[in-house]
């Protein structure tokens, strides 16, 4: 069952990326002028990917599965330095097929990056709020989160991105439960 879900998620993600690439070709109004391009301002986008997690303590075990969602944020740019804030919300299919799962994820992060023309490598730090299921009971948990990523401008508004997020918590409910998750995500977005 898990392999079938993974194949379906992979096909959906590949189809979404091909559709995004096709729409990017339609949206191309002109080539990005690296000298005049800026990452400043509001943006929105969508992402998909895969998550892996490990429970420790009294609920020991591993989870994995697809994730998909959207994000909204705002960047400030001064020279090549870029700082910003971002909020995202996602559905999560990370589970072990039984007693443990993460069913939804929302996070708020600060970002800092360095603009290299059409490229924006960045670091991020913030907090993730997630729906964690342990033995049938759902808990909403707040976790610290760190990450790294890169964005590339396709034109003056559209960009593609890839990022990795690490979430960890050693003091979850029920007491004695620990959780660490790894999210690998790719997406597209647009600036305003």
Average pLDDT estimate for 174-180? 76
CATH top class, domain 2-191: mainly beta
Print burial letters for 159-182: b (CB count within 10 Å at least 16), e (below 16): bbbebebebebeebeeeebbbebb
Angle at the Cα of 4 (from 48 to 160), degrees rounded to 5? 15
pLDDT at res. 179 = 85
67-119, pLDDT tens digit by residue? 999 999 999 999 999 999 999 999 999 999 888 899 999 999 999 999 998 99
164-176, pLDDT tens digit by residue? 999 987 666 666 6
CA 51 to chain centre: 10
Domain boundaries, the chain: 2-191
Give the whole-angstrom CA distance, residue 191 versus residue 42. 6
31-57, pLDDT tens digit by residue? 555 556 799 999 999 999 999 999 887
User: Of 172, 118, 116, 171, nearest to 140 (Cα)?
Assistant: 172
Q: Is the pTM higher than 0.75? A: yes
Give the whole-angstrom CA distance, residue 52 versus residue 50. 7
User: Of 159, 82, 67, nearest to 121 (Cα)?
Assistant: 82
């Amino acid at each position: 069952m898990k392999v079938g879900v993974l194949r379906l998620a992979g096909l959906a993600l590949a189809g979404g990326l091909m559709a995004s690439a096709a729409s990017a070709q339609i949206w191309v109004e002109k080539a990005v002028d690296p000298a005049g391009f800026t990452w400043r301002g509001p943006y929105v986008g969508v992402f998909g990917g895969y998550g892996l997690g490990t429970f420790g303590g009294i609920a020991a075990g591993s989870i994995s599965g697809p994730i998909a969602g959207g994000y909204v944020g705002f960047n400030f740019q001064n020279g090549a330095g870029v700082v910003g804030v971002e909020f995202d919300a996602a559905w999560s299919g990370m589970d072990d097929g039984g007693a443990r799962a993460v069913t939804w994820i929302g996070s708020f992060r600060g970002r800092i990056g360095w603009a290299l023309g059409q490229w924006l490598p960045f670091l991020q730090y913030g907090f993730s709020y997630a729906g964690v299921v342990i033995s049938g009971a759902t808990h909403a948990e707040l976790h610290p989160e760190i990450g790294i990523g890169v964005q590339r401008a396709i034109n003056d508004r559209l960009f593609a991105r890839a990022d990795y997020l690490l979430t960890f918590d050693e003091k979850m409910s029920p007491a004695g439960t620990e959780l660490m998750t790894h999210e690998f995500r790719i997406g597209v977005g647009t600036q305003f």
